[in-house]
Amino acid sequence: MSAVIPADAVRVPGTRTLRFEGEDHGSEVSFFLVTNDPGQGPDLHRHPYTETWSVLEGEATIRLGDDIVVAHQGDSAVVQADTWHGFTNTGSGILRIMCIHASPRMVQEDRMPSAPPTEE
């Protein structure tokens, strides 16, 4: 295996996001390196392992279960296994955030949005 994995080898097609799955590269961890514009971020989801974020640039409002925190450049946050979570770029510029998964393979369950009320 190569010691250097080119960014384009792990780029999510059509995005600025890198998705590194450790198992594919002999590593015990996986990560997303996300670059988001204001207002962007993933919907609520959870994993069967911890996830650690490091904000490289910008501001992220992070939901960790029922808690909401704001993280800025240099800050880190950790979400425990099986906790619904997500983040949004709430700053005025680019958000660059490293999302480190404590697993060689990413496993994710997306939270289904609430169904709209039905008319009777």
Domain count, the chain: 1
Q: Quick check: is 98 in a domain?
A: yes
Give me 99's structure tokens.
């999302």
Q: Quick check: is 29 in a domain?
A: yes
Boundaries of domain holding 35: 12-107
The answer to pTM > 0.85 is yes
Q: Quick check: is 5 in a domain?
A: no
The CATH number linked to 100 is 2.60.120.10
pLDDT score at 55: 98
Q: Quick check: is 4 in a domain?
A: no
Q: Quick check: is 63 in a domain?
A: yes
User: 78-120, pLDDT tens digit by residue?
Assistant: 999 999 999 999 999 999 999 999 999 999 999 976 545 545 4
Q: Quick check: is 24 in a domain?
A: yes
C-alpha 111/C-alpha 18 separation (Å) is 22
Nearest CA-CA partner of 32 in 11, 14, 48: 11
User: What are the angstrom distances between the C-alpha of 13 and each of 7, 52, 59, 61, 110?
Assistant: 11, 24, 25, 25, 20
